[in-house]
Structure 1
Amino acid sequence: MRSSIIVPFLAGLLVVTSSIQAQNHPVQRSSSKAKTTNSAAQLPEFSLSRAEVEAHIRFLASDELQGRKVGEPGNWIAARYIAEQFRQLGLKPAGTIANKPDYLQPIDLERVKAASSATMLVGKDTLHLGKELVVMAGGPTNLSGEVVYVGYGLTDGEDGYKGRDVKGRILVAQGGSPDAKSPREIFSASAAKRKLAGEKGAAALIELYSESIPWGFVNQYFNREQLAIPTNGETAAPVAHLWVNNANNKYKQLKEAGQTITLQTSGRLRTSALSANVAGIIEGTDPKLKDEYVVLSAHFDHIGVGKASGTPYQPSDSIFNGTRDNAMGTAAILEAAKTLSLQRPKRSVLVLALTGEEAGTLGSRFYAEHPLVPLKQTIFDLNTDGAGYNDTTIVSVIGLERTGAKNEIETAAKAFGLGVFAEPAPEQGLFDRSDNVHFAAKGIPAPTFSAGFKAFDEAIGKYYHQAIDNPESLDFGYTLRYCQAYAYAARLIANRATRPQWSAGDKYEAAGKALYGQ
Structure 2
Amino acid sequence: MQTSSILHVLVTIALTATSVQAQNRPVKDVSSAAKKAVTVSKLPEWAISRAEVEAHTRFLASDELQGRRTGEPGNWTAARYIAEQFRQLGLKPAVTTDSQQDYFQRINLEKVKPATSATMLLGKDTLQLGKQLIVMAGNATTSSGEVVYVGYGLNDGDEGYKGRDVKGRIVVAQGGSPDAKSPREIFNASAAKRKLAGEKGATALIELYNEATPWGLVSQYFNREQMTVSAPSDDKTPLTHVWVNNANNQYKQLKEAGQTITLRTSGRPLTFSSTANVAGIIEGTDPVLKNEYVILSAHFDHIGAGRQAGTPYQPGDSIFNGARDNAIGTVALLESAKVLMQQRPKRSVLVLALTGEEVGLVGSRYYGEHPLVPFKQTIFDLNSDGAGYNDTTIVSVIGLERTGAKTEIETAAKAFGLSVFAEPAPEQGLFDRSDNVSFAAKGIPAPTFSAGFKTFDQAIGKYYHQAIDNPESLDFTYVQRFCQAYAYAARLIADRVTRPQWSAGDKYEAAAKALYGY
TM-score, with length taken from structure 2:
0.92
User: Which letter does structure 2 place at the counterpart of 1:412?
Assistant: A
- Asked if the contact 1:30/1:47 (under 8 Å) is kept, the reply is no
Matches within 5 A, 1:313-328: 313-328=313-328
Distance 2:161 2:13 in 1: 63
Q: Distance in 1 between matches of 2:127 and 2:113?
A: 21
Q: Give the corresponding residue for 2:80.
A: 80
Which residue type is aligned with residue 321 of structure 1? N
The answer to whether the 8 Å contact 2:106/2:274 transfers is yes
Structure with bigger gyration radius? 2
1:32–1:416 contact (8 Å) kept in structure 2: no
State the Cα distance separating 1:220 from its structure 2 match. Answer: 1.5
Q: What does residue 445 of structure 1 align with?
A: 445
Q: Given that residues 70 and 355 in structure 1 are in contact (C-alpha distance below 8 angstroms), is that contact kept between their aligned partners in structure 2?
A: yes
CA displacement at 1:237 relative to structure 2: 2.7
Counterparts of 1:506 and 1:91, CA distance in 2: 34
CA distance in 1, matches of 2:408, 2:424: 19
Q: How many residues align?
A: 491
**Cα distance in 1, alignment partners of residues 486 and 209 from structure 2:** 41
Q: What per-residue deviation string (whole Å, max 9, x for no partner) do you get for residues 75-113 of structure 1?
A: 111000000000001101112455411000110001111
Counterpart-to-counterpart distance in 2, 1:279 and 1:241: 36
Alpha-carbon offset, residue 331 of structure 1: 0.1
**What is the rounded CA distance, in whole Å, between the counterparts of 2:222 and 2:90 in structure 1?**
42
Aligned residue in 1 for 2:128: 128
How far apart, CA to CA, are the structure 2 residues paired with 1:155 and 1:233? 22
Map 1:281-292 → 2, pairs under 5 A: 281-292=281-292
Matched, 1:510 2:510: yes
Tell me the secondary structure at the aligned position of residue 431 of structure 2: helix
Any stretches of 5+ residues in structure 2 without a counterpart?
Answer: 1-8, 16-33
Shift in alpha-carbon separation, 1:148–1:435, aligned structure 2, 3 A: same
The runs of 5 or more residues in structure 1 that have no matched partner are 1-27
The percentage of counterpart residues that share the same residue type is 77
Q: How many Å separate the matches in 2 of 1:32 and 1:210? A: 60
Q: Aligned partners of 1:258 and 1:234: how far apart in 2?
A: 33
Please tell me the residue identity of whatever aligns with 1:141: T
Q: Does 1:66 align with 2:69?
A: no
Which residue of structure 1 aligns with residue 154 of structure 2?
154
Q: Deviations over 1:175-203 (max 9, x none)?
A: 11222222212211211211222222221
Deviation of 1:128 after TM superposition, in Å, equals 1.3
- What corresponds to 1:363 in structure 2? 363
* Matched AA of 1:393: T
**Equivalent-residue separation in structure 2 for 1:236 and 1:497 (angstroms):** 53
Q: CA deviation at 1:164?
A: 2.3
Partners in 2 of 1:229 and 1:474 — Cα distance?
A: 34
Name the residue aligned to 2:456: 456
**1:395 aligned onto 2:395:** yes
Give how far 1:479 is off.
0.4
Contact preservation (8 Å) 1:70, 1:356? yes
User: RMSD across aligned C-alpha pairs, in angstroms?
Assistant: 1.8
Could you say what secondary structure the match of 1:278 adopts? Answer: strand
What is the match of residue 267 of structure 2? 267
Distance 1:31 1:86 in 2: 29
| Cα distance in 2 between the residues matched to 1:151 and 1:458 | 43
Question: Residue 116 of structure 1 aligns to which amino acid in structure 2?
Answer: T
In structure 2, the CA distance between the partners of 1:29 and 1:329, relative to structure 1 (3 Å rule), is farther
Q: In structure 2, what is the equivalent of residue 501 of structure 1?
A: 501
TM-score of the superposition, structure 1-length normalised? 0.92
Does the CA-based 8 Å contact 1:322-1:470 persist in structure 2? yes
Write the deviation string for residues 306-341 of structure 1: whole angstroms up to 9, x where unpaired.
122111111111111100000000000000101111
Question: What SS class does the counterpart of residue 294 from structure 2 fall into?
Answer: strand
Partner of 1:349: 349
CA–CA distance in structure 2, aligned partners of residues 515 and 235 of structure 1: 37
1:156 is displaced (CA, Å) by 2.2
Give the corresponding residue for 2:24. none
Q: Please list, as runs of the form range in 1=range in 2, the aligned pairs for 1:405-444 lying within 5 A after superposition.
A: 405-444=405-444
CA shift at 1:462, angstroms? 0.8
- Residues 433/359 of structure 1: CA separation in 2 closer, same or farther (3 Å cut): same
AA at the equivalent of 1:361: L
The worse-fitting range, judged by mean Cα deviation, of 183-192 and 341-350 is 183-192
Kindly provide the amino acid, as one letter, of the partner of residue 394 in structure 2: I
Deviation at 1:234, TM superposition (A): 6.6
> How many angstroms apart in 2 are the aligned matches of 1:123 and 1:189?
29
CA distance in 2 between counterparts of 1:233 and 1:172 reads 25
Displacement after TM superposition at 1:37 (Å): 2.0
The one-letter amino acid of 1:276's match is: A
With 169-178 and 289-298 compared, the bigger mean Cα shift is at: 169-178
CA contact (8 A) 1:171 1:205 kept: yes
| In structure 1, C-alpha distance between the alignment counterparts of 2:458 and 2:114, rounded to whole Å | 32
Partner of 2:492: 492
Q: 1:248 to 1:166 in 2, by over 3 A?
A: same
Deviates more, 1:373-382 or 1:294-303: 373-382
Residue of structure 2 equivalent to 1:187: 187
Equivalent position of 2:246 in the other structure: 246
Helix, strand or coil for the counterpart of 2:357? coil
Deviation of the 1:496 alpha carbon: 1.1
- For 1:172 and 1:431, locate their aligned partners in 2 and report how far apart those are by CA, in whole Å: 33
CA distance in 2, matches of 1:160, 1:416: 62
Paired letter, 1:327: A
SS in 1 for 2:389: coil
- Partner AA of 2:251 in structure 1: Y
2:115 maps to which residue? Answer: 115
Distance 1:512 1:253 in 2: 45
Q: Check whether the contact 1:29–1:49 (CA below 8 A) recurs between aligned residues.
A: no
Q: 1: distance between equivalents of 2:331 and 2:299?
A: 10
**Equivalent AA in structure 2 for residue 389 of structure 1:** Y
Preserved contact between residue 172 and residue 255 of structure 1 (Cα < 8 Å) = yes
AA partner of residue 70 (structure 1): T
1:304 partner SS? coil
- CA distance in 1 between counterparts of 2:92 and 2:306 reads 37
State which drifts further: 204-213 or 275-284: 204-213
Which residue is 1:305 aligned to? 305
Q: Is the 8 A contact 1:425 1:456 kept in 2?
A: yes
Give distance in 1, aligned partners of 2:232 and 2:11: 49
Question: Which moves more between the two structures, 314-323 or 187-196?
Answer: 187-196
Report the AA paired with residue 241 of structure 2: H
Structure 1 match to 2:27: none
> For 1:227, what is the secondary structure of its paired residue?
strand
Matched residue, 2:28: none
> Greater CA deviation, 506-515 or 319-328?
506-515
Match of 1:10 in 2: none
> Please, which moves more after superposition, 91-100 or 457-466?
91-100
Partner SS for 1:358? helix
SS at match of 1:277: strand
